Structure 1
Amino acid sequence: LTGDREVFPAWIRERKDFQVFFPRFSDHVITDEEILQQGVPKEPSERNIVELQCIARWIMKIPSTSTFLDLNQATEIAKLAKYRAFRPQEYVFRKGDVGDACYLVLSGEVHILIDGEKVASVTKNSAFGDIALQLENATRGADVQAASPPGTGNSSSSPGASTPNSSLPAIGCEVLMIMAEDYHKTLARCQTRRRKHLVNWLHTEVTLFRDCVESKLHFFELVSIDVPLKKGEVLYTQGESVGAFYIVRSGRVRLEVDIQYEQESAGFFGFEMFIKGQQTRAYTVVADSPTVELIALNRVDCFSPYFSFTPRAQDRIHDKNDKCRDMALRMVQQQLRAFRKSQSAAAANKNTPNHPPVVVQRKFPHSHETPEFQFPRLRPAKWKADNEVVSALQQACQ
């Protein structure tokens, strides 16, 4: 009998579809990434079951879908999603367009533009465009443009530009597009479980939303993302660009700058975006309980034309910012006073120690032992073996 690889000729073993279905007999074990690259560009009806399940596993990794989709539901979406590639600086859609699809980013990056100004980015393994699908006859609230590939400037990455080493046009981003009709059959239906309690919780437990009308709460529930954390995980660090606003659903997080400020359930943080002139994070946020559940609201959604925080909610946000800032200032001043006090005490103390910082305590003072005897060093062996081979090894070890 011949070996496994002898059963099939080489030209069959080299086929990618053979490698997918019969990895035991192939010369190359194909990875999920390769299956994804192979299956995504196909028409939905042409994808085989292995490719569909690979795409489904990828869809389940997207933060906005990971909390409520199982493999079967994600596979149904994979059967309907269509592949699209956009050139650098090509518009995915424009402000005012009818919302007819949502998008899952496979590779690259897109920029969210409002009045021509970039307000946010959506990167690989993220979703966008689903807000307009949730509201009846809604239009797009911003422009979405494919970004330029890393290492290229705007002048060299205009639509239709080619890469230096290839005749193919450069790709700014690759997406899976889910049409509105398919979205309502799949994703919207699957989200029902998550929506069931969130609106009521926002209204009753979170002070910011107590005076919000139901339609505004419904909008926030649609665009929010669940963010789970484990103790010790860092959500973001001080100095990073502002990206989202967070509400603590359960657990406790710690805000650090020169102080530690704890935020428990129904509290909120990430309010730098509402402070004029504040473009970076003022705190480092660390999970401080075994499990933490956060609800994240993207910066773009917080300033969406479909929603605005009430004046009372904005006052609460500014009050929280002032409280944290004042606490940080008091703690810094307290630390400065303690430092100056210790410096003054050290300057007033003129007595210098008459002994070195490390003292060897002899066990037997009258024996004239030395520290070297108490703490012997490793020295080469003085004994030399008669055997020439062993003697040579001794010399080599020295």
Structure 2
Amino acid sequence: MTYLLSVAMEKQLEELKQQLEKQCQINQELQRQNKDLEQRLKDKEKLLQELQTQYHDLEFPSQTANEAEPEFRTSRAAVMAPEPIPENLEISRNMVKKTASETSLIVKAIQKNDFLSRLDDEQITMMVDLLMSSHYKPSEEVITEGSEGDRMYIVAAGELIVTQSGRDLRTLTKGDVFGELAILYNCKRTATVKAKTHVHLWCMERQTYRTIITNKSKKKREQLMGFLKTSRTLKDLNDAQLSKIIDSMEEVKFQDNEVIVREGTEGNTFYIILKGEVVVSKNVNGHQKQIRRMGKGEHFGEQALIREILRTATCTADGPVTCFSIDKEVFEETIPVEHLELFDDSKVMQEEQGPEQPGPSSSLKFKDLVPVLYQEGRYQGDPVTLGVGGFGRVQLMTTLTYGKYYAMKRVSKKQIVSKRQEEHMLFEKKILKAIQCDFIVKLHAAFKDARYIYMVMEFCGGGEIWTKLKEVGRFDEPVAVFCTACVVEAYSYLHKKSIMYRDLKPENLMLDIKGYIKLVDFGFAKELVRGEKTYSFVGTPEYMAPEIIKNQGHDFAVDFWSLGILIFELLVGSPPFSSSEPQKIYSKILDGELKFPLYLSEAAKSIISKLCRPRPGQRLGNTKNGIKDVRHHRWYSSMNWHKLRMGQLDAPTIRLIRKGPCYINFDKFPQDHSVAEEEFSGWDRDF
């Protein structure tokens, strides 16, 4: 009996074992299928990312109404190199007469385009006048994928087909706009546009567009400057002070018969009339008596800027009126009222800074430099590349005696010439050679040969802030405070020397081995006299200030805007204005609506909002107290600025720095075997 039970139990155990093995096989098969599905999903996600990347610069409106914002920025930001504007571009000869219906079609096309709709009436009129006519036959290409674009188009008649990598994307018909990014900057076309039928197009070149917008902005500033100089209250101010006031003023419109200021009410706003007429009247025995009329260029309410005063007359719009205005509170932030003398923020910038030492004369020889090689991994034995950009590579070098490491930037001379960046390259070298600041990377030496120019710079072993941010997603507040405080010190030094930086972003911030931040890449820096403006379209789209996008002329205020964007990106992981399509980024910047995550502190929201004010004259750091206001903001209340300058603070960034070979904190890049063409134009004679 016992024997039979034992046999039965063994049989049951055997069956259970077989069932278990079968179940294991099923589980293994399910796991394999899961892995297969996971891999297919990853492949699909990768394909989707590649398609999104290809679509990144696509110059045609997206078909999706609601765009999902990425939580963290995962790709390096593109940059826009400044392009010279011709001094005297003859544009009036290109004017083409349009019929009323043609004008109507063009205006409607502009108004429904996300970017062009922001032009004012005068700019739209100029565009309508200067659009050229062109005709294409069926199957003729208007735009070729991969080619460099320099013009935009509006479809007047006919149909066109848009393709990308041979796939049909959409059809363009009457009233559609395409290629509009090309009138902002030199960009590669991301799709092919071919005529499906006989096509009539209106087109405009980038230089024409930029010239009309820039000239209008310059003329408007000159005009406003002239208007301000006729004000008795402001007549003693210099051009730099008057320019600050213009930067703080806003355009306001009034309807016919609308009262702009009322007699007897408290006055706090100064107005300059840009368009239309204003009737000035006083109350005499209960009736309004007209005193006079005012027109373009005349102003009223100036006394309200400097003392408590009740309005002494009523000003009413006679027909539609456009004014430029500034209120007392903003004016007081811009110009110290008590003596009407612009605050010299160089006094702030000099505090606690010792006498400047001249830059060291380098004894470094090009022949003494040797590349550092990867010691392990797939690139073992290859030279170490620290970074790759649109304008060259940065390699890790050392000397034959192995005494010190250097970061050597190598740039193709041919590429510099083709992109018209000769002046910027020479200026970058000039700036870095003269700079002696602990928060800016040092230039040790510069060399050239027939193919390249070489800039041998201080090696920052902690790596890029961009790489660190990508690794952790977003920074804790103390880390962001420390990183951006280092930037504030670099700005203080540069602005004191009348240099604006114009390319702030995590990619251009390096960590030294102590965890302190240094600014690198001065390709977009520019020297500017206080009170003057420059009109280049330059920078990184997500970090561009509104006045750059609008071609209104910009100055040091753009650096404070980009500081606000940087604080946001370090705390959140992606910039506040982002999209897969550049024109949408520009539209969001011009809309200026900042959306803050719930976890941001009130102090962080406050400093970002104040740095990212749309009007440059109202931005924190650009008002009468200068950069002092940034240092004194409560978000920096924990910062000991003196100890930071002396390098006496323990950097909270130190925990982001990995230990290992000297290149451990950098992404790895394959070796570049290509050789640039020789270039002998001689632009680098003094390099």
Q: Give the TM-score of the pair, scaled to structure 1.
A: 0.32
Q: Which has the higher contact order (CA 8 A, sep 6+)?
A: 2
Q: Give the TM-score of the pair, scaled to structure 2.
A: 0.20
